[in-house]
Amino acid sequence: MSFGSRLQRPWIVLVGGFLGSGKTSLILAAVSLLEQRGLRCAMILDDQSDELVDTRHAERQGVLSREVTGGCFCCLYSGLMSVIEELRTWSPDVIFAEPVGSCTDISATVFGPLREQFDRYRVAPFTVLADPARAAALRSEDADSDLAFLFQKQLQEADLVCMSKADLYPDAAGISGLEARFLSAKTGQGVQEWLDEILLGSVEAGRTTLEIDYARYARAEAALAWLNLSFVLEPASPLSPALAVGPFLDRMDEALTAAGIHIVHLKFFDSSATGWLKAAMCANREEPRVEGNLDASPADRHEVLVNLRAKGSPTLVRKIVEEQLRQVEGRTFGVRLECFSPAPPKPDRRVPRARLRWA
Ligand SMILES: Nc1nc2c(ncn2[C@@H]2O[C@H](COP(=O)(O)OP(=O)(O)OP(=O)(O)O)[C@@H](O)[C@H]2O)c(=O)[nH]1
Ligand SMILES: [Mg+2]
């Protein structure tokens, strides 16, 4: 079975879904499978700001990656296209793109204008991932209304819904009213089948235009605190990546939890001469999930990235993180810290479904 060749139009594959649903993990697993078949793949990450854990992770996995920063793809179609055009010079077969996990209205703002480029690209159906635990929480009666709004809108515009993390939730239910696939980026379960379906199947791409109130969308995103931090750490004595970031992560979780800040996704990335480590948690007091060189030997210099998406006040989140940073043992320098609420989304293109025809 062949997915195509370099002489043809490259595939554009958008994988959306809520913060922490498993987008980056799925894309990295898919790239690995496709590369085993000799296909060239690249990946585009999207964020409100730069210094992204996901980009560093992708680079460490050897995946060609680029960033679109300063907003969601829904507002930055032209930015997305200029990165796609740049990647095209490298003749990729498949370009994956991961929208920000709070982003929605992708069908009208990205798939819509992308249809006009049908002579240059093949566009896969829009996959939206849902973490079963998050889906249950955000569909319950006491769900946070802002987060639930974003989650629902993302699902409503999906061409294909996939329940992620099937290894963690083997008995997960789907979402009522939606046909869902089940997959695990960790074990590979369902990933090949998903690729076959999006690249060889007949599901139409971008078939649902959302009805969405942008003022409500803006309010929901503005309820989030978005923090990107980078710094260099020289500990008093050499530490492994796990020991360099572990205590900082634990204390940050404690302090955020004590202040009533709801962690949506907290990611750490440590790069050192002896190896790298990524640690992430999708809820307060969750056991961090760790990937990388777990047995790396101690190093005397660490480059640390922290990306935190939380429900709460950016001013308070910043204060907590600054306080925890002061408590890190050793010398910290080169600190860059940004913390804000996402600005109201303003699409640079919006092409509703009714005006569209695929070639
Ligand atoms: N056990 C298990 N964990 C997974 C799987 N997929 C993702 N994870 C974990 O879930 C967390 C979130 O995964 P990511 O791939 O970073 O999710 P994301 O949707 O890209 O997150 P954002 O970019 O922040 O929106 C990480 O700790 C992953 O290791 C899976 O299939 N199984
Ligand atoms: Mg990601």
Above 80 in pLDDT, residue 156? Answer: yes
| Structure confidence at residue 1 (pLDDT) | 43
What is the mean predicted confidence (pLDDT) over 174-202? 95
Contacts for 217 with CB less than 8 Å, ≥ 6 apart: 104, 105, 149, 150, 153, 345
**Which residue bears the tokens 């007949």?**
202
pLDDT band at 354 (very low <50, low <70, confident <90, very high): low
The amino acid at 150: L
Q: Confirm whether 11-220 and 224-340 share one CATH topology.
A: no
Beta strand residue intervals within the chain, DSSP E:
11-17, 41-47, 64-69, 94-98, 122-123, 127-130, 160-163, 180-182, 224-234, 262-272, 275-281, 289-292, 302-311, 331-340
Above 50 in pLDDT, residue 356? Answer: no
Domain ranges, ordered by start, for the chain: 11-220, 224-340
Residue 29 CA: which ligand is closest? 1
What is the mean predicted confidence (pLDDT) over 155-164? 97
Above 50 in pLDDT, residue 71? Answer: yes
> What tens digit of pLDDT does each residue of 121-150 get?
999 999 999 999 999 999 999 999 999 999
Question: Closest Cα to atom 3, ligand 1: which residue?
Answer: 165
Q: Which residue has the higher pLDDT, 164 or 355?
A: 164
Contacts for 46 with CB less than 8 Å, ≥ 6 apart: 67, 68, 69, 72, 73, 76, 80, 97, 98, 99, 100, 103
Q: Does ligand 1 have an atom closer than 6 angstroms to the CB of 20?
A: yes
Looking at the chain, the whole-number percentage of residues with pLDDT higher than 70 is: 96
Q: Does ligand 1 have an atom closer than 6 angstroms to the CB of 153?
A: no
The atom of ligand 1 lying closest to the CA of 309 is: 24
Asked if 302 and 233 touch (Cβ cutoff 8 Å), the reply is yes
Above 60 in pLDDT, residue 234? Answer: yes
Q: How far apart are CA 305 and CA 270, in angstroms?
A: 7
Mean per-residue pLDDT of the chain: 94
What is the mean predicted confidence (pLDDT) over 313-337? 97
| Structure confidence at residue 352 (pLDDT) | 84
| Structure confidence at residue 6 (pLDDT) | 54
> What tens digit of pLDDT does each residue of 72-102 get?
998 999 999 999 999 999 999 999 999 999 9
Q: How far is CA 190 from CA 26, 165, 196, 205, 220, in A?
A: 10, 11, 10, 20, 32
Q: How much distance in Å is there from the Cα of 118 to the middle of ligand 1?
A: 31
| Structure confidence at residue 8 (pLDDT) | 78
CATH of 11-220, one of 1.20.950.20, 3.40.50.1100, 3.40.50.300, 3.30.70.260: 3.40.50.300
Quote the tokens at residue 83.
């990165």
Residue 18 CA: which ligand is closest? 1
Q: How far apart are CA 307 and CA 269, in angstroms?
A: 9
Asked if 66 and 42 touch (Cβ cutoff 8 Å), the reply is yes
Q: How much distance in Å is there from the Cα of 98 to the middle of ligand 2?
A: 7
Residue length of the chain: 359
pLDDT band at 266 (very low <50, low <70, confident <90, very high): very high
| Structure confidence at residue 157 (pLDDT) | 96
Other Cβ atoms within 10 Å of 123 Cβ, number = 21
Q: Does ligand 1 have an atom closer than 6 angstroms to the CB of 132?
A: no
**Can you name the CATH fold of 224-340?**
Alpha-Beta Plaits (3.30.70)
Q: What pTM value is reported for the model? A: 0.96
What is the mean predicted confidence (pLDDT) over 231-243? 97
Q: How far apart are CA 57 and CA 54, in angstroms?
A: 5
Asked if 241 and 293 touch (Cβ cutoff 8 Å), the reply is yes
Above 60 in pLDDT, residue 359? Answer: no
Above 60 in pLDDT, residue 358? Answer: no
Quote the tokens at residue 358.
């695929």
Q: Does ligand 1 have an atom closer than 6 angstroms to the CB of 164?
A: yes
| Structure confidence at residue 118 (pLDDT) | 86
Q: How much distance in Å is there from the Cα of 55 to the middle of ligand 1?
A: 14
